[in-house]
Amino acid sequence: MTQASNVKLTVKGMTCQGCVNSVTRIVKRADPEAAVAIDLPTGKLDATTTASAGTLIAAINAAGYEARAA
């Protein structure tokens, strides 16, 4: 079993709670067991997940947001 790690990203382009919900769903698609916390005003995403940061960045960017390592 893959060990969960903490991934911290900055996500630009989120403007509302709907965006936060969308990004959370993207992370959950990569790892259904992920614990995700997003701070909308700062655009900070903090996830405890088995998915890699690169996987999450690619998936979030593909959805039209701009994600990068924090």
Helices (H), 1-70: 17-30, 53-62
Instruction: Return the pLDDT at 2.
Output: 76
Task: State both tokens at 14.
Answer: 């989120």
Reading the block at residue 61, the tokens are 């960017």
Q: Which domain holds residue 63?
A: 5-69
Model's pTM, two decimal places? 0.94
- Residue identified by tokens 């405890």 is 48
Q: Using one digit for the tens of pLDDT, what is the confidence trace for 10-39?
A: 999 999 999 999 999 999 999 999 999 999
Model confidence over 34-48: pLDDT tens digits? 999 999 999 999 999
- Residues 6+ positions from 36 with CB-CB distance below 8 Å: 24, 27, 28, 45, 46, 47, 49
Token look-up 């995403």 returns 45
Predicted pLDDT at 31? 97
Domain count, the chain: 1
CATH of the domain at 43: 3.30.70.100
